[in-house]
Structure 1
Amino acid sequence: MEAISIILQLKPSLDTLANAMLNKGEFLSDLGKLQQALYLNNQALVLMPNSTQSLIKVYLLQRQLCHWENKDDFDAKVINTAMKEIKVSRIPALRPFDATLMPISDSIKMQLAIANCKQWQQSITLVSTNTKYTTKPLKIGYMSYDYRNHPMGQLTVGAFEHHNHSDFHITAYSYGPNDASEWRQRIVDSADTFYDMQSWSDVDIANRIVNDEISVLVDLMAHTRGARVGISSLHPAPILVNFLGYPGTMGASFMDYAIVDTIVVPPMVALSTFTEKLVYLPHTYQVNDYEWTIDTCIDDCGNVAMEFGSNVSFVFCNFNTINKMEPLSFDSWMRILSRVPGSVLWLLEPSAMDIGVMKTFRMEAASRGIDPHRLVFAPRVSKREHLERLRYAHLFLDSFIYNAHSTASDMIWANLPLLTLQGDTFASRVASSLVEVSVGCIASSILVAHSMKEFEDLAVALATTHRGNLSTIRAWLAKSFILDSRLFDSAMTTSHLEESYKAMADLLPNILHIIVFPSVKNDCN
């Protein structure tokens, strides 16, 4: 009994110590000292084994450092913990965006999003769906943290510049940093009104939107990093739309619509994976912008591999960010390398804080019987330089759980064939959507796999016995820009968005599923 009494007396001190470790770990993580942060968080988890915050922090740091030992066990523990929290009406420590990078279904992600959004639920709304502004032109607002040199800024600038400003008044609400980049300036120049609101409160931003009488407010962030859900939760416009930034449902009663296409969200799973009413755009949901021409290759791509050394005859690549890397994809890539002698895998060099990952990847390759030097890392350069160097690669091998999204568009723009494994979640189906809209049904059957074995067999065949098909595919990609560039026709995709906005406004006070131009069919439907 005396021992139990001593332990009970010590517990508050141990909890205090563990919380101090968590706080210091957070500080070190912000400084980029991830290994030290992981050590402290692991110590905190030992002291507080039932702490969900400690568990999640360890899990996320291990993922960022690509420490994959016991990953399956950690995945299961994190998911089970989150579901238990939901069952007792607690807000899960696992955030919706972090869940998109895990091997779980979209229906479970919806449960996580719904539980997360309860903390934002307001007792009142500033503008109800019964409000219908009659002023012309129709006022559209776009809200984002990422109007900068970031995939979001690079994608959305095409919509801003191609909107019909006679029929629509476009307002950009920016609550993120001003990096003075060309992307930022182009959005500032093309919006009818641009607000820099980084220092504004959620309430002040929401009230500004109300005073502007915005009819359709498009949230480009949802649950992504930097998002300010508190603004959307006040419902400062008659219609709120979840679009582009987050591959999944907002899970919130205050979000009315989500914009998708039929590949990323097949209609038969809409009800089980989204709380919003869905707007289906024809072809693709992804708006983007590529203005420049770049050097590429179509017919003679074999010799460029000499850039990697005289013994290299084929260059596989993957330029997804570190957070999309996971052992299932990596295992598959290593098996492909083992079946294609003389090949290398070209990866994007991690950021400064993740730089130790290069050593980790090479160790992981060696443990699978692959020469570590067959992993080559590309230094970080400007977007234009990056697109130009893609001519040195032969085939992009996609990640499985979270596909290439804006990165996939980069590859297709550079006429680089992209091989993807179509999964059963939004995040794992984006690349196949972009491939299909770029090259059509017949060609996409060569580039979109439906099992891991098919993925590996296709990769090996394209690198060996069917290598000539790569030139054919590159020619298809190049031809699509001239004859039918649906993926890169920013004006067309923007016009589809405009049609959806008009339909939303016309339907008020009703919120209903919308199919834009239903007579337009995707090639493989």
Structure 2
Amino acid sequence: MEGGEAKEISWEEVLALAGIGQWSEVAHHCEKFIGHPNFGENAIQLQSEAFIEMGEPKIAIEKLQSLLQPGNISILTLQLLARAQEEQGFLGKAKEVLELALSVEKSSVDIWKQLGAIHVKQGAQAEAAKCYKRVVELDPENIESWNSLGAAQANQSEFENALSSFSKALLINPDHYLAGVNRLFVLNRRAQFDGIAKEVDRLIKLKDGEDIRQVGALSAQQCCDWEGFDRHFSALDKMTEEAIAQRRCPREQPVAGAAFTDDPQRNKRLTHAWAQAAWNSVSSLHIGFSHRIQLGQPRVRVGYFSSDFRLHPISQQTLPLFGLHNRERFEVFVYSTGIDDGSPMRQRIINDCDHFVDLRQSDTLSAAQKIFDDEIDVLVDFSGHTESSRMEICALQPAPVQATMLSATGTNGGGYYDYVITDPIVFPESSRVDYAETPAWLAGSFFINHREEVISKNNITRSDYGLPENAFVFGTFNQSYKITREAFTIWLRLLRAVPQSVLWIGAVP
């Protein structure tokens, strides 16, 4: 090399730069190979990938346009185009492109995996599961897809199927961290605690992180292992606060956090971080709904939104609500994002509302669009941060007024819930600082109960449930993860103070 001339770089060297993630250099050097008889198409594809990696998906799409010739589009080009569209938030377009790719190459594991990830982002867990099932049919040793399949199944409360998928992943690699953690979460959710503590410690040795510390704290708390709980929660608390300080969404789930500690300001920080993450996941899907005043509309349209319109405490508490509205003033919509268990309770809700809409199979944007198209005036979310909730739908603000009620975490955080429906006992004036929402105080108690429930006429005896005939019975039927050290200590003191007394704890998986 003389006179300061730049050294010519070969195509193999460009590929080597891509292999070590030098994407700026890759984008620059690919330019000279565009139009090359042998590497021209590859150069455009690799340059587009570089722009995607550098956070410039719009430029990547522009670069790919020259390769989008009808009848002669490569599968790789379609995958890159879908990836760029996904990065821009155009999930519907990305899905269409991948479906086009599958019409050409039905047995591509990579395309099925990419399509599955799109469905997860859209909140369409059932469709995601179908994609991952196809992957493991094509490639039974694909450990990541077994794990992804299990996650999609768990998100639909298909816990036995999820355990099977995670177990298959662990048969391939017993030290696969995510599959191991996810399996423990499901076992914990099913109250199957045998061996969890030992497996938690084993996985911590592989990688000490938020996920494994959370499942360790949850299982220890449910087994009243307070020493184990202190050990895991102390580590988790530091990790959670560090994530919040760095404006990352912690892995600690808000409902678990509310059970771990009764610190309301910590709860507010945690719920806000998760609510913000829900918004971040969908903010690019839609520019925002433009709400208008419904002039001349004779009735207020109220929408109730939950994943728990089934045999569940939320439905047990709210069951009479839907039929008690004054139909001259209100039109009642119910939006269900959870499973249809065929229960009489779900059927009662269907019968008592004016419109029952099943959104379980709908992606996030389609669900929000449906609520908007129904011209809902007030949307009330019963799920909040609980399991299988779809808070990201509410994050898109499909209704002009949105409220939360019966939230397991008190506040939902974020900025897209206007009110929390409550009363002055549950939410005194002094609690305003602990909530992101404005209180909508109801007279008396806000808490609804299914007061119509008929007491069974069956001849039920204590022996049917293994209870002593002459004992004084204390009972608690909460989920076991809600048992705190303080409550358990009080229960033990009561049992010591009351002769011949027993504590009946409901076995709620």
Q: How does 1:112-131 map to 2 (within 5 A)?
A: 112-121=270-279, 126-128=288-290, 131=293
Aligned mates of 1:249, 1:265 — CA distance in 2: 10
SS in 2 for 1:101: helix
Structure 1 residue 320 displacement after superposition: 2.4
Aligned mates of 1:114, 1:124 — CA distance in 2: 21
Contact 1:312 1:344 in 2 (8 A): no
Structure 1 residue 250 displacement after superposition: 1.1
Among residues 82, 85, 98, which one is paired with 2:256 in the alignment? 98
Contact 1:125 1:236 in 2 (8 A): no
1:35 alignment counterpart: 194
TM-score, length-scaled by structure 1: 0.57
Q: How does 1:80-479 map to 2 (within 5 A)?
A: 80-121=238-279, 126-128=288-290, 131=293, 134-270=296-432, 272-294=433-455, 312=470, 314-351=472-509
Unaligned runs of 5+ in 2: 1-172
TM-score, length-scaled by structure 2: 0.59
Contact 1:244 1:285 in 2 (8 A): no
Structure 1 residue 38 displacement after superposition: 4.3
Q: 1:276 to 1:26 in 2, by over 3 A?
A: closer
Structure 1 residue 315 displacement after superposition: 2.7
Which amino acid is the alignment partner of residue 322 of structure 2?
F
Which amino acid is the alignment partner of residue 45 of structure 1?
I
1:57 alignment counterpart: 215
Q: 1:174 to 1:104 in 2, by over 3 A?
A: same
1:374 alignment counterpart: none
SS in 2 for 1:268: helix
Which amino acid is the alignment partner of residue 312 of structure 1?
N
Q: Deviations over 1:297-334 (max 9, x none)?
A: xxxxxx999x9888835332223231222332222222
Structure 1 ranges of 4+ moved more than 6 A: 307-311
Aligned mates of 1:309, 1:143 — CA distance in 2: 39
SS in 2 for 1:146: coil
Which amino acid is the alignment partner of residue 411 of structure 2?
T
Aligned mates of 1:119, 1:239 — CA distance in 2: 21
1:44 alignment counterpart: 203
Which amino acid is the alignment partner of residue 35 of structure 1?
D
Structure 1 residue 199 displacement after superposition: 1.0
CA RMSD of aligned residues (A): 3.1
Q: Which moved more, 1:202-211 or 1:34-43?
A: 34-43
Contact 2:305 2:335 in 1 (8 A): yes
Aligned mates of 1:91, 1:213 — CA distance in 2: 32
Q: 1:165 to 1:67 in 2, by over 3 A?
A: same
Aligned mates of 1:30, 1:269 — CA distance in 2: 31
Aligned mates of 1:304, 1:32 — CA distance in 2: 24
Q: Which moved more, 1:58-67 or 1:279-288?
A: 58-67
Contact 1:28 1:36 in 2 (8 A): no
Contact 2:267 2:409 in 1 (8 A): no
SS in 1 for 2:327: coil
Which amino acid is the alignment partner of residue 303 of structure 2?
G
2:236 alignment counterpart: 78
Q: Does 1:69 align with 2:230?
A: no
Q: 1:123 to 1:108 in 2, by over 3 A?
A: farther
Q: Deviations over 1:156-212 (max 9, x none)?
A: 221101111111110111111111111111110011011122111111111111111
Q: 1:23 to 1:159 in 2, by over 3 A?
A: closer
Number of corresponding residues: 330
Q: Deviations over 1:185-242 (max 9, x none)?
A: 1110011011122111111111111111111111111111111011001100111111
Q: Deviations over 1:441-471 (max 9, x none)?
A: xxxxxxxxxxxxxxxxxxxxxxxxxxxxxxx
Aligned mates of 2:188, 2:472 — CA distance in 1: 38
Aligned mates of 2:478, 2:184 — CA distance in 1: 27
Q: 1:22 to 1:294 in 2, by over 3 A?
A: closer
Q: 1:268 to 1:308 in 2, by over 3 A?
A: same
Aligned mates of 2:174, 2:210 — CA distance in 1: 13
1:362 alignment counterpart: none
Which amino acid is the alignment partner of residue 246 of structure 1?
A
Aligned mates of 1:66, 1:22 — CA distance in 2: 21
Aligned mates of 1:304, 1:19 — CA distance in 2: 44
Which amino acid is the alignment partner of residue 244 of structure 1?
L
Aligned mates of 2:321, 2:217 — CA distance in 1: 37
Q: 1:15 to 1:89 in 2, by over 3 A?
A: farther
Aligned mates of 1:169, 1:214 — CA distance in 2: 9
Structure 1 residue 96 displacement after superposition: 1.1
Contact 2:397 2:416 in 1 (8 A): yes
Contact 2:378 2:399 in 1 (8 A): yes
Structure with bigger RCO (C-alpha 8 Å, 6+ apart): 1
Answer with 1 or 2: which has the greater Rg.
2
Contact 1:18 1:43 in 2 (8 A): no
Which amino acid is the alignment partner of residue 170 of structure 1?
V
Which amino acid is the alignment partner of residue 435 of structure 2?
F
Which amino acid is the alignment partner of residue 403 of structure 2?
V
Which amino acid is the alignment partner of residue 449 of structure 2?
N
Contact 1:128 1:235 in 2 (8 A): no
Q: Which moved more, 1:124-133 or 1:255-264?
A: 124-133
